[in-house]
Amino acid sequence: MLEILKVNAEDLKPETFAPFGRVISTFDELKPEVVVGALIENAYKVRSDPNDLSAESLDLSEGRVRAHFACHDDAGQSFYPSRHCPTIFFVAPVQPMIEPGDLRAFYSDGHTGICMNVGVWHTMPVCLRGEEVYLTARGNQDYHAHSIDVHFDQDRGLALEPDMGSISGWKEELRG
């Protein structure tokens, strides 16, 4: 079973997100910086269903718990919640490698997304309710040649989950 590290969720605001990039109100408002190559756009479906914590590696397309993080040197990356579901964006500063304590969790009510700077560490956004389709733009270069990955689940038996207690007005849905 994975050890779960809770990361305090904070509201996604332009001034607090500034070290990592920009907050966007539409997918087309701002595109990521490109260092080499061009951008490609995609859409990823993510569900709020609970994660299978007994799995060898966590599925990036479900649940609130994340363990795989990456950064890219070919371009920044953007994520925008097209269905406007409440979302958590995990990010860490530009640096050669990260530790779990470096990550921050930003809460969006589903009406804002992010456009990250080149080299910012991140993972697939966390859909907090329902099913979301995240629009994304990122570099078109070979992923393995231009990315660094860390897998806390496989390497350390650890995963991160947002702690929603500090988000004013957030109410957990009762599951039953």
Q: Tell me the mean pLDDT in the region 167-172.
A: 80
Residue 8 to residues 56, 75, 101, 113, 173, Cα–Cα distance (Å) = 25, 28, 11, 19, 19
Classify residue 175: in a domain, yes or no.
Answer: no
Query: What pLDDT is attached to residue 173?
Result: 57
Q: Could you tell me the CATH number of the domain that includes residue 28? A: 2.60.120.480
Confidence at 110, pLDDT banded by 50, 70, 90: very high
Classify residue 155: in a domain, yes or no.
Answer: yes
Residue 175 above 80 pLDDT?
no
Classify residue 152: in a domain, yes or no.
Answer: yes
Classify residue 171: in a domain, yes or no.
Answer: no
Average model confidence (pLDDT) for the chain?
94
Q: Tell me the mean pLDDT in the region 128-137.
A: 97
pLDDT, tens only, 66-89: 999 999 999 999 999 999 999 999
pLDDT, tens only, 42-71: 999 999 999 988 888 899 999 999 999 999
**What's the number of domains the chain is made of?**
1
